[in-house]
Amino acid sequence: MTEPILLEVSGLSKSFDQVKAVSGVSFQIGKGQVVGLIGANGAGKTTTMRMLATLELADSGSILINGINTVDHPHEVRPLIGWMPDYFHPYKNTSVREYLDFFARAYDIPGSRLLSAVNEVLDFTELGELQTRLINKLSKGQTQRLCLARALISDPELLILDEPAAGLDPKARMEFKNLVHLLKARGKTLLISSHILSELGEMCDSLIFMDGGSIVHDGDKSSLLHRQEETGWPFEVKIAGENTDLLEEWMAIHPGWKVRSVQENGVTATFSSCEPELVARELRQLSADLPVIEFHRSERRLEEAFVDILLHKDKKPASASGQTVSPSSSAS
Ligand X SMILES: Nc1ncnc2c1ncn2[C@@H]1O[C@H](COP(=O)(O)OP(=O)(O)OP(=O)(O)O)[C@@H](O)[C@H]1O
Q: Which residues bind ligand X (CB under 6 A)?
A: 16, 19, 21, 39, 41-47, 86, 195
177/34 Cα distance (integer angstroms) = 11
CB 311 within 8 A of CB 231: no
* Shortest CB 22 distance to ligand X, Å: 7
Q: Which is nearer to ligand X, 195 or 300 (CB)?
A: 195
DSSP 8-class letter at 279: H
* Shortest CB 38 distance to ligand X, Å: 9
Q: Which is nearer to ligand X, 39 or 234 (CB)?
A: 39
* Shortest CB 250 distance to ligand X, Å: 43
Pairing state of beta strands 60-65 and 68-69? antiparallel
Q: Which is nearer to ligand X, 154 or 193 (CB)?
A: 193
Q: Which of 25, 1, 6, 40 is nearest to 325 (CA)?
A: 25
3-state secondary structure of 236: strand
* Shortest CB 229 distance to ligand X, Å: 28
Q: Which is nearer to ligand X, 13 or 206 (CB)?
A: 13
* Shortest CB 142 distance to ligand X, Å: 22
216/37 Cα distance (integer angstroms) = 11
Residues in contact with 36: Cβ distance below 8 Å, sequence separation at least 6, in sequence order: 192, 193, 194, 200, 201, 203, 204, 206, 207, 208
Q: Which is nearer to ligand X, 46 or 125 (CB)?
A: 46
Own/partner contacts of 110-118, CB < 8 Å, gap of 24 or more, are: 117/153, 117/154, 117/155, 118/153
Q: Which is nearer to ligand X, 78 or 195 (CB)?
A: 195
* Shortest CB 327 distance to ligand X, Å: 15
User: How crowded is the C-beta side of 170, counted as CA atoms within 13 Å?
Assistant: 0
Q: Which is nearer to ligand X, 196 or 259 (CB)?
A: 196
Q: Would you put residue 297 in left (φ > 0), alpha (ψ -120 to 50) or beta?
A: beta
* Shortest CB 195 distance to ligand X, Å: 5
